[in-house]
Amino acid sequence: MAAPSKIKDTFIQRSWKVWAGLLVLSLLIVYKIVRFQTTEKEELMSQVRDTQMKERVIEAKRGNIYASDGVSILATSTPEYKMVLDPTVARPELFKNQISRLSEKLAAYFKDNSAAAYKEKIVNARHAGLRYMVLNNKRLTYKEKAELETFPLFDIGPARGGGFFEEKEIRFHPYHSLAERTIGNLDKKDIRKGATGLEAEFDTYLKGVDGKGFYERLPGGYMKPVDLESDIASTPGLDVVTTLDVNFQDIAESALRAQVSKTQARYGSVVLMETETGEVKAIANLTRHTDADGQVYFSDDINYAVTGGTDPGSTFKLVQAAIGLGDGVITTSTSLSGNSKFSMHSAGETANLLMAIMKSSNPYFDNVLRRILHNDPKTGRAIPVDEGMKLWDEQIMRFGFGRQLGIDLPYETKGLIPTPERYDKIYGKKQWKYSTIYSISIGEGEYGVNVLKLANMASVFANRGYWITPHIVRSTGLDVSKGKNTPTEITKTNIDKRHFEEVVRGMEMVVQSGTGRAAQISGVDVCGKTGTSQNAKGKDHAIFIAFAPKHNPKIAIAVVVENGTFGGRASAPIAGLLMEKYLKGSHNREAYKESIMNTRYTTVAGGKSPREVEE
């Protein structure tokens, strides 16, 4: 019997071993759970908080863009609301009582759906357990929201009724399309980022610094923003005060619109700037469109003023005159006789410099540039044209051509100027001479000049030889002592002041009795120059630059009307009107007023801006 009992012992032993194993594993589990409650508890709890709380961005309020008075708001952020309902929140009897009334009120308010349709939509959503539904896609203002808050289920708070309003900041332009392109727009995808114009250039100032907060995870995984002490508040963006004047901007745009319309031009652009400060008071770009129904409308979507580039045309003759005088290749009394290349001009035009400017003599300035390019101003010796052009390039760059002026708007173009390198490339090294390129003498050829440069050129003559960096932002932040302040950088031309006086006399004559008579202002000496930039594809571009008054000038202007034919007719009236308004505070040119304001152009129905129509 020894053997069986031994076997039995073994079995009992094994039974105990199984027992012991069971006990050990159970204790291991208990041990682990006890650890959860004790040593590991802190770590676990912090992890719970991590999963319960999710970081959220507290969005900074974007700064406003103001006009030069620091009061008129050109762009600001305002909240917009959407009406949202969590249809599962309301208790059954409450829901039953209110749903019909709510649907009726919604139908009466939005008028896009019947009460029955609203009711069906909401009831279905509730049935499906949908926790979020936008009742109507209409963007609501604060005032509209206040009214809708009295609706059933919205009047008892989101916790009981389930109704709430989703807020979104949008950019609002109180003056609608005024200076639209200059102010710029926000990025379409990232609506918190500036994409064009001042919104883009001053984005770093405007956007502010976002704060940090938390969402709390509610049962069901819904995230609810919570206010905590640990929240990092956002810093609102700085306001940007521009130099733009709402009135001038408005007149500039309407006058330009009238002219563009009247001349059937493709686009027009105006830059109005203060000569003493470089502040841009108005900057307008209008493109004319004709829609499918033949209706004409305008848009301000391309910033020709700083990004475009055309020939400066005859206005460039002023620069040639100043350089010619400065280099000593001509004097005011120099008479340069005709050249068969320009057949259209009579002998009288070439009697002296002032006559040449007034009559915009092509042969005269052809000769002037020939002299400039073949003359070394230091020694007075004759030099090859490419060397002379290098020196000439240096001089015209001091007038702001072929370089960025440094305006505080994005995408400013450098522009083009004729250079020996360029001609070497076109014709081969040294394979060209002055007679190959003579058209640049009258501002046509290898130029790329935007309207801002033209206004700046007018400013150079107004200041008799220097310009101040044009700018459009006076300060960031309403407190002018902070942030970016007015730049006062001065660029000099190195040409003697008296030579400018001489050219300015010619400019005065242009307006008094020459091609720019349309810019006259009674009691004010206006100095200007017309230009016509030749256009191979169609009507020429009308250019006019001017400043006023002649003594102690205040204001400079450039107007370009593309396909506007002749500068004196299409562009000069706008310049006169704007300068008069600036200098006198009002203008007294009924004729122009009428011709401008009553021009036959069609605004889009309801007086809406093109932008509104687009939307």
Interface residue with another protein among 1, 3, 4, 37 (CB under 8 A) is 37
Residues 105/160, Cβ–Cβ less than 8 Å: no
Beta-sheet pairing, 296-299 with 267-274: unpaired
- Which letter does DSSP use for residue 152 in this model? T
- Please report, as a single letter, which amino acid is at residue 162: G
Query: Do residues 472 and 233 lie in contact, with contact meaning Cβ atoms separated by under 8 Å?
Result: no
Residue 40 binds another protein, judged by CB under 8 A: yes
Binding mask 180-219 for another protein (x = CB under 8 A): -------------------------------------x-x
Asked if 16 interacts with another protein (CB under 8 A), we say no
What is the residue type of 60? A
- CA trace torsion 113, 119, 123, 125 (10° rounding): 20
Establish whether the linkage from the previous residue to 363 is cis, with ω within 30° of 0: no
Which one of the spans 47-55, 203-211, 228-236, 558-566 is the region binding another protein (CB under 8 A)?
A: 47-55
Would you count residue 52 as binding another protein (CB under 8 A)? yes
Minimum CB distance to another protein smaller for 129 or for 428: 129
Of 32-40, 136-144, 456-464, 547-555, the window that binds another protein (rule: CB under 8 A) is 32-40
Among 19, 142, 411, 427, binds another protein (CB under 8 A): 19
Q: Taking the complex as a whole, how short is the minimal distance between the CB of residue 196 and another protein, in angstroms?
A: 40
| Tokens at 382, concatenated | 């004759």
Contact 573, 268 (CB under 8 A): no
Point out which span in 48-56, 186-194, 239-247, 497-505 binds another protein (CB under 8 A): 48-56
From candidates 20, 22, 146, 233, binder to another protein by CB under 8 A: 22
Least distance in Å: CB of 223 to another protein?
A: 13
- Which of the residues 78 through 97 are near another protein (CB under 8 A)? 88-89
Nearer to another protein, 18 or 382 (CB): 18
3-state secondary structure 35-47: HHHCCCHHHHHHH
Applying CB under 8 A, does 294 fall inside the site for another protein?
no
- Give the dihedral sign, CA 544/572/607/581: positive
Contact call for residue 124 and another protein (CB under 8 A): no
Nearer to another protein, 47 or 598 (CB): 47
Region from 15-23, 286-294, 386-394, 604-612 binding another protein, contact rule CB under 8 A: 15-23
Least distance to another protein from the beta carbon of 22, Å?
6
**Identified binder of another protein from the candidate list 8, 9, 20, 47, rule CB under 8 A:** 47
223 part of the interface to another protein, by CB under 8 A: no
- How many CB atoms neighbour CB 448 within 10 A? 17
Q: Which of 20, 44, 232, 233 binds another protein (CB under 8 A)?
A: 44
For the bound state, the minimum distance from the C-beta of residue 118 to another protein, rounded and expressed in Å, comes to 22
* Near another protein by CB under 8 A: residue from 4, 221, 428, 606: 221
* Nearest-approach distance from CB 135 to another protein, in angstroms: 19
End-to-end CA distance of the chain: 104
Task: State in angstroms the smallest separation of the CB of 238 from another protein.
Answer: 40
Q: 6, 8, 9, 15: which one contacts another protein (CB under 8 A)?
A: 15
Task: Say how many CA atoms lie within 13 Å of 590 toward its Cβ.
Answer: 0
| Nearer residue to another protein within complex by CB, 31 or 411 | 31
Stretch that binds another protein, among 38-46, 179-187, 296-304, 538-546 (CB under 8 A): 38-46
In the bound state with another protein, the residue whose beta carbon lies nearer, of 41 and 54, is 41
3-class SS letters over 134-193: EEEEEEECHHHHHHHCCCCCCCCCHHHHCEEEEEEEEEECCCCCCCHHHHCCECCCCCCC
Cβ count near 305 (within 10 Å): 27
Q: Is the dihedral of CA 343, 346, 350, 356 positive or negative?
A: negative
Question: Does position 29 bind another protein by CB under 8 A?
Answer: yes
482: CB partners within 8 A, 6+ apart: 238, 475, 476
Residue burial 342-354, b: 16+ Cβ < 10 Å; e: rest: beebeeebbbbbb
Q: Is 14 in the site for another protein (CB under 8 A)?
A: yes
Backbone phi, then psi, for 140, in 5-degree steps? -110, 145
**32 near another protein (CB under 8 A):** yes
Of 19 and 411, the one with the shorter C-beta distance to another protein is 19
CA distance 421 to 1: 120
Within 8 A by CB and 6+ apart from 41, the residues are none
Of 613, 587, 615, give the one whose Cα is nearest residue 254.
Answer: 587
Residue 215 Cβ vs another protein, minimum distance, rounded to whole Å: 14
Q: Which of 6, 8, 9, 41 binds another protein (CB under 8 A)?
A: 41
- Angle (CA) 316-578-301 rounded to 5° is 75
Residue of the chain from 34, 232, 426, 597 that contacts another protein (CB under 8 A): 34
Whether 84 contacts 134, CB under 8 Å? yes
User: Can you tell me whether residue 355 is helix, strand or coil?
Assistant: helix
How many other CB atoms are found less than 10 A from the CB of residue 29?
A: 9
Nearer to another protein by Cβ, of 36 and 142: the residue is 36
Examine residue 25 and tell whether it contacts another protein (CB under 8 A): yes
Binding site for another protein (CB under 8 A): 10-11, 14-15, 17-19, 22, 25-26, 28-30, 32-34, 36-37, 40-41, 44-45, 47-48, 51-52, 88-89, 129, 217, 219-221
